[in-house]
Structure formats: structure tokens, C-alpha cells
Chains A and B, each alone.
Chain A
């Protein structure tokens, strides 16, 4: 292991080298911290990383090295440094959700997905910056300042998982956890030129993922390539007693179902790719459209059948999402009142005064806005008009997807986001920012798996293509993504 080749290595390569004794986990972890320093990952630079403890990470790597020397079986992520978004409960490092209200909070328990990564050999090296409580699309809403995009530091990395996306794009870690409620991994993956995957709702336990909107929240991951992203899901997926919505559905080996051009002339023979016209409006950026068209041609060349399809309720997704998500958030965030954990602001007005003072000073403007909006749409007289109706529209959106998949489509292909990474500070209107999620929220509303992979660059900035599949259809989604990635080759990054 040398510091210079570390940033280009995939997680599976690092794990193989550690397993074979070619690399030491200690050297790998040191290379990760060295890279973080070299690219300026801290607050004066990318501001991607909020919390880390190099000494403790090195000690953990030393323990792993000792276990391997004693003959312990190497896990699938043996010695792989992984960064985790700051809304996952982790032992040892703070969990603040990018908020003042949880400043200094260290969780007394650990998220199931983090435990599973560690049990397979991963070393958790950092907690990453994020929009406060994952409410945002640019990572500008963090109480700890905005994260910058490593491709162009004047621009946002996307959000809300922008710190994790930047950490992977900058070569600090090969894999990072993000979380999704409306596209918070796929959109930053698109903006930073990396892979981002959100599985089926229930595929990975949400235990220890701090709740934003429980029916929309998904554990999700960033990686440099499709293979690593599939491996991350294989490690983390599966039922968990601590999350009753986690699905008791067997976890297949996604990677074993990849078909390479090295072994098949038409790797996607028998796969039907649907192209939903609602995701290609006339107003779509021409550069993004051109790159999507090129990917569609690649799908054809790979042997896939390509079909135009319609998802007629797509334009209702943003209005429905921005009722349901704030409504659930206003309930979930009621727990931050200064009593049991996190910040407390005392008041002369007794207990109730303490609640209000703590919440008023602890939450930033976007979180406050969504709590007010969510409380409003749930309040007497407005519940039916807003919340109940939005949940009915959500059913229509899910039905659109179900009908297309029942009609023989295996995967859908769309742009991931309507734009490339925009300059920091460029969008100030809340609703205009919400529209950044226009192509991603539908998958969260329906609970279907979706991922973004790089498909090229527009004016030097990365563009992502989105692949969606039916519930628990990750295998075909990864297969299509792998084939497209292989077919595009270096064109995906230029």
C-alpha cells in the first residue's frame, strides 16, 4: 500500500489485499487519513468530515491486523476505511445530524448497518457533514458550514449526504454511508461523479439511523463503482429484530449476477429498459439529455430492449413528498426537547420554556420551516386536505411503477437530477431547492430500489444516470448498472 495508489483503490481490492497479507489494515487507515489531510477534508477545505479520531481508528486497524495474524477469517470489508454520515448512531464518535441541537452527543448504541460493516472488517474512520437532519439538497444547511464539491470547490456536492459524497469523490474512502429520504444519495452521487444506491424500503435495517421521515428513510451508500456499491448492500442487507419494517427476504449475491462484456457479447440480452417520458421534459437541460441518450444507445448495444413508458403521476411527486416528509419530520423531531440527550437551553419559564428555548436555538432555519410546515399539514382542519390527500397521491405514484414493471419492464432509466452541481449560495428559494429532487423522490415514495451512476460530464461537471427497479429487484438493477458502467468506460467521467 502506498499513499499514492490508495485513492484509486476500490473497497474489494483493498479487502483482497488485506486478506492476502499484501496490505496492512494499519497502512490502509493511515493512507485514508493522509489523503484526508492532502485534499483538505476539514472545515477550512472541503468541510466533508465533521468528526474523526485517527488514533482510535489506527488502534482498531491494529486489532484487526492482530486477529488476522492469529488466523481469523478476513471479512468482506477487511481493513476498508468507511465514512459514515453524521445521522448514524456510532459508538465513540459524535452523532450530531449536522445540528446544534445534538452538539457533542455520543450515542450509547450503534446502528445495525454500521455494526454489520464493522463485523465484516470495515474501519469506521469518519462522520461526514450533512444538511441538518438530512433536510436539504446541497449540504448548505449544516450547522457546521457547507461542504464543497471536490470536482469544483465553488459548487455544492449535492445533499443531504454531501459530506459522504465528497469523501468518496476525493478519494478519502472507497465507500461511505449516506441516507435517503428523497434522493439524498443519488443526487450528490450525480453531482460528484460517483455511484450512489438506495435499496428497497426494508432491505436494510434503519435501526440507529436517526429518523427524519420514517416511511421514506433508507440506509444508502456511495462507492466509486457499481461492484463496490453492490458489495455494500450485500453486507448490510437483511432482517433485523430492532427494525420491524426491515424485510425478512433473503439477500442474494448481487455481484454473482453481473454479466461482463468479457464473457458475453450482449450482457443485457433479455432485459427490458423502460424510458419514462415524464423524466425527459422539454425543459430538460440539453447536455443532460444528450448524455442520457448516449446511455440509452449503450443499453441497446448491450442487448437490452428499450421501450418508451409513461409514469403519469410523476409531476405530483414533489408536492406530495413535501407534505409527507415534513409531516413525519415534525413528529420525529419532537423528541429533541433538551430532556434526555443533546443540547439543553435553560429558561425562566420552567419546563415548557426549556423545550421552546432548546428547540428555537437548536434547530436551523430549514428544519424550523419544515417542522412548522409539517405541523400545519397535520393540524385539525388541514389533515385531510393535505396529508391524507398526499398519501393517496403517493399510492398513485407507486401504482404507476407497479404497472410499468408488471408490463414487462425490468429497469427504468432516467436522469438522476435536473441539473449539474450548482454554485454554493445560488439557490435561495426553498421550493426551487426542493425541485432538485424532482427525479429522485418518486423512488422513496414508492419504496423501490434506485441508483445513480456517472454517465459523462456536461461542461466539465458530472452527470448521473438513474436506474430503478421493482421492489427487491436490486439484482437486475445492479446488473444493468454494471453493464452500462463497463460499456461507458472512461466516457462516464469525461
Chain B
């Protein structure tokens, strides 16, 4: 299963990472160079085991706790770490879809 240039473009878009077209060849080559070593896994008989799900089961796995914990208080104000804050809210750029909505408005 060789990774193609289009696969990488598609996956990069899913991951919201821009890939410089001039570096695409190198990235595709590196990913295929890595994935070729993974093919050995397809030959392993795994019929006798369940896949590990989350944390190692022998250490208790990932237990569910009651959904009762309150929020953990922050020891520094939002303004000290958030990129853009106004009136206690984090400010983000306008959604492109909202721009569309404005354009379509009568």
C-alpha cells in the first residue's frame, strides 16, 4: 500500500497542516520508507488476541469515573495565555461559512 502524493495532500488537509509542494516528494518518499517496515505486521497471526484498547489492561485499563468532578481552577487568568481575549471570551477569526452567509443575505 504505497502512499501517493494525493494521499498526503488529503491527509494533510484532514490534519489541517499545510504541506509545501516543493517538499511533497521528500515527504511521500519518507512515509513510504517508514510504511514499508510496517508490512511485517500484516503477516502476523493475531487471531488469538484482542487488540489493546487504550491503556494496558493489566494496569487497570482506562477506568471510567463518575462524571462528577468540577472544573479545575486556573491559577493564571485567561489573558495570560490565550492569543486574543475580549470581555472574558476568546476571539477567533470569522468563519468562512459566515462570510458566505453574509454574501447570500438579501
CB within 8 Å of B: which residues of A?
A: 91, 105-110, 200-202, 214-215, 241-242, 244-245, 247, 313, 315-316, 318-320, 322-323, 330, 334, 337-344, 346-347, 349-357, 359-360, 363, 368-369, 371-373, 375-376, 379, 382, 385-386, 388-396, 398-399, 402, 429-431, 434, 445-447, 471-472
Contacts and interface: CB of A to CB of B under 8 A. Distances in A.
Contacts of B86: none
A30 to B, nearest CB: 27
B41 A398 contact: no
Contact of B41 (A107, A319, A429): A319
A322 B74 CA distance: 35
B96 A372 contact: no
Contact of A431 (B34, B56, B65): B34
A389 B56 contact: no
Contacts of B31: 369, 372-373, 376
A446 B12 contact: no
B81 A244 contact: no
A338 B96 CA distance: 17
Contacts of B52: 215, 391-392, 394-395, 398, 445
Given A106-B76, A341-B82, A359-B16, A430 B30 contact: yes
B40 A471 contact: no
9 contacts: A107-B76, A245-B60, A319-B41, A322-B37, A322-B38, A323-B41, A351-B94, A396-B49, A446-B56
Contacts of A347: 93
Main secondary structure of the interface of B (DSSP, over half): loop
Given A201-B56, A245-B63, A376-B31, 11 more contacts: A91-B76, A215-B62, A316-B44, A340-B83, A341-B81, A341-B83, A344-B83, A372-B19, A379-B14, A392-B44, A471-B58
Nearest to A313: B44
Contacts of A430: 30, 33-34
Contacts of A202: 55, 59-60
Given A340-B82, A354-B93, A382-B1, A372 B99 contact: no
B22 interface: no
A338 B81 CA distance: 11
A350 B95 CA distance: 6
B18 interface: yes
B55 A429 contact: no
B106 interface: no
Contact of A354 (B41, B51, B92): B92
A318 B16 contact: no
A339 B90 contact: yes
The interface size bin for chain B is 35 or more
Interface in B49-100: 49-56, 58-60, 62-65, 69, 72, 74-77, 80-84, 90, 92-96, 99
A395 B82 contact: no
B41 A342 contact: no
A392 B99 contact: no
B25 interface: no
A376 B55 CA distance: 22
B105 interface: no
Contacts of A363: 17
B72 A242 contact: yes
Nearest to B81: A341
Contact of A318 (B19, B37, B75, B99): B37
B60 to A, nearest CB: 6
B55 A245 contact: yes
A247 B14 CA distance: 35
Interface string B9-36: 0011011111100000001001101110
B92 A402 contact: no
Given A351-B95, A395-B50, A390 B41 contact: yes
Contacts of A91: 75-76
B15 A244 contact: no
A388 B93 contact: no
Given A319-B40, A382-B1, A395 B49 contact: yes
